[in-house]
Amino acid sequence: MDYHSFSPLYVSNLTIAGVYSLTKSTLDLAKPLISELGGIPAAAYSQLELANNALGLGMNKSQKSAFTPQVKLFDKERDAFISESVRISNSYLKSSDPLKKAAATTMHLFLVPYRGIVSQPIDIETGSVADMVAKYKARPDLVDAAQTLGIDNVFTQLEAKNNELNATYVSRNAEYAESDTAASEFKPAAVTAYIQFCTSIEQAYNYAPSDTITALFNKMDEYRKIYHGLEGGKDATSTPDPTTTK
């Protein structure tokens, strides 16, 4: 049989914050499914959870930043702009005005793939929003639809807020990089535990597949592809956040 493997990811090449973000996001994905994963994946999950908690405690000791409240505020404001664009678009889907109804339909179809991005880890959402805005600006029909609905300014403000958040994010992570000593001793254990959990899910996917395992495997692989681009500081503008879950 063909053996399916996760996409390549050299976890140890991630920053401490990156390892914590990846492991925390992975734990959050698997937690609701833990009873369906089987004995070995469940045991590997427990080890990853312990390692992640230890890494988080180490980071809390070394990472006290005045930027954190700003990051949380900007993220909340960014989410509000996204929600507003969806709310207004949906409100015109049954409009008696044919122009606004058509514009709302165009905008709705564009926004559907981005449903749920406000629940993504902060660093991943930044990339998703940048992608959404770039595609919006590249399509005259979307720009026209937004103007018809009166939400073109919402997209303008969303882009500005996303950039503002990212700049603050980078500043905070630069500050973190200077004080990683307290957490560095916990990183290897977290890396090892993550690799072991991935191995358990990979084997379950190949030898005892189920809808649950398949869905988890695919979502974990999406995360691995995203974080692969952050190895070794390749993408300094999108360094993972140690408080990614919202």
Question: Rounded to whole angstroms, what are the CA distances from 93 to 83, 136, 137, 174?
Answer: 16, 19, 22, 45
pLDDT of res. 68: 76
Per residue in 134-166, is it b (16+ CB within 10 Å) or e — as a string?
eebeeeeebeebbebbebbebbebbbebbbebb
Mean pLDDT confidence for 32-52: 92
pLDDT of res. 26: 93
Per-residue model confidence as pLDDT tens digits over 53-69 = 988 887 775 555 667 78
pLDDT of res. 232: 63
3-state secondary structure of 3: coil
Q: In which region does residue 74 sit, left (phi positive, over 0), alpha (psi from -120 to 50) or beta (all else)?
A: alpha
Query: For residues 141 and 241, which has the higher predicted lDDT (pLDDT)?
Result: 141
Cβ burial of 206 (10 Å; 0-12, 13-18, 19+) is middle
pLDDT of res. 175: 62
pLDDT of res. 177: 58
3-state secondary structure of 45: helix
Mention every residue, 6+ apart, whose C-beta is less than 8 A from residue 42: 34, 35
pLDDT of res. 65: 61
Q: Give the amino acid at 115.
A: R
Confidence band, pLDDT 50/70/90 cuts, at residue 81: very high
pLDDT of res. 182: 59
Mean pLDDT confidence for 63-82: 83
Geometric angle at alpha carbon 55, from 216 and 25, rounded to 5°: 25
Cβ burial of 32 (10 Å; 0-12, 13-18, 19+) is exposed
CA distance 60 to 127: 25
Q: Count of residues for the chain?
A: 246
Residue 231 · residue 9 · CB < 8 Å = yes
pLDDT of res. 85: 95
Over the chain, what is the mean pLDDT?
Answer: 86
- Looking at residue 231, what DSSP letter applies? G
**For 122, phi and psi rounded to 5 degrees?**
-55, -45
List the domain boundaries for the chain: 11-63+180-238, 68-173
Per-residue model confidence as pLDDT tens digits over 205-226 = 999 889 999 999 999 999 999 8
Residue 216 · residue 30 · CB < 8 Å = yes
Residue with token string 């969806």: 86
Per-residue model confidence as pLDDT tens digits over 98-156 = 999 999 999 999 999 998 899 888 888 998 999 999 999 999 999 999 999 999 999 99
| pTM score, whole prediction | 0.52
Tell me what percent of the residues of the chain surpass a pLDDT of 70: 86
Mean pLDDT confidence for 1-25: 88
Return the structure tokens found at 186: 């916990």
